[in-house]
Amino acid sequence: WNFLCWKLCITIMRLVILDNYDLASEWAAKYICNRIIQFKPGQDRYFTLGLPTGSTPLGCYKKLIEYHKSGDLSFKYVKTFNMDEYVGLPRNHPESYHSYMWNNFFKHIDIDPNNAHILDGNAADLQAECDAFEKKIKEAGGIDLFVGGIGPDGHIAFNEPGSSLVSRTRLKTLAMDTILANAKYFDGDLSKVPTMALTVGVGTVMDAREVMILITGAHKAFALYKAIEEGVNHMWTVSAFQQHPRTIFVCDEDATLELRVKTVKYFKGLMHVHNKLVDPLHSMKEGN
């Protein structure tokens, strides 16, 4: 029965609304944890996980580390593929996404470094690097669960407004809004912020068997509105995931400020049904 309900629950777009950032992070982490455990990964059966960077997923990573250290979760048979990396930033630079992932996540868990894939923004041939990344994903059997975050302008990874919704991993010039948003990580100095990046495409993420997008904070509220209440639009690339059969948007109350009241009530009503059946905050407590 639980398995049947889980199958039914994820064949529609879901919006999971938690009271605050910490609870949203915990819900996302427990969902990832449960999906890995349910998959029963092993030496000949790796779970493949797509991962984001930025401030939003930090709480989720912190919780996943806790689950690993408590003995509830292993990443020994997990392969990860990160969404993006800056071009021209040294790998050991504190703001490179290599540094971000190792400092905030990978070095705290038992993942094999050979199984943690991050694009090389200093590759001699950047297009060849992007093509090789797509090939590695395919050779791994595709992504089981792709976790993403978005920018205030609704971009996912570095698929800026206007990006093709069938795009693949490629070199992208960053929009000024993105550069301004990232300046806080470079002492507020715009001249230090990279202007180009390597990024998976919208199509790359759409190919994943399941997608979970984290959206928190009032500054993301209009993007969430565009993502779920209006139609698919290449100027708001996150809206493409309306068409994915297994998308979960995980947000806090602040991110719902631009949504219609009836939209929030509808999805909260669905949450009550899901919570009684298979959602992480309940299933882990019950030992399911």
Residues annotated catalytic, as ranges:
84, 153, 155, 160
CB contact at 8 A, 29 and 262 = no
DSSP 112-161: -GGGEE---TT-SSHHHHHHHHHHHHHHTTS-SEEEEEB-TT--BTTB-T
Find the helix packing angle between 261-277 and 2-9, rounded to 10°: 160
CB contact at 8 A, 39 and 75 = no
CB contact at 8 A, 251 and 17 = yes
User: In terms of DSSP bridges, do strands 116-117 and 145-149 run parallel, antiparallel, or are they unpaired?
Assistant: unpaired
Give me 114's structure tokens: 């050979």
Question: Phi first, then psi: what are they for 22, rounded to 5°?
Answer: -60, -40
Question: Phi first, then psi: what are they for 26, rounded to 5°?
Answer: -65, -45
Comparing C-alpha atoms, which of 116, 120, 131 is closest to residue 168?
A: 131
Measured CA to CA, the distance from residue 72 to residue 65 in angstroms comes to: 10
Measured CA to CA, the distance from residue 115 to residue 49 in angstroms comes to: 10
Residue listed under structure tokens 């719902």: 256
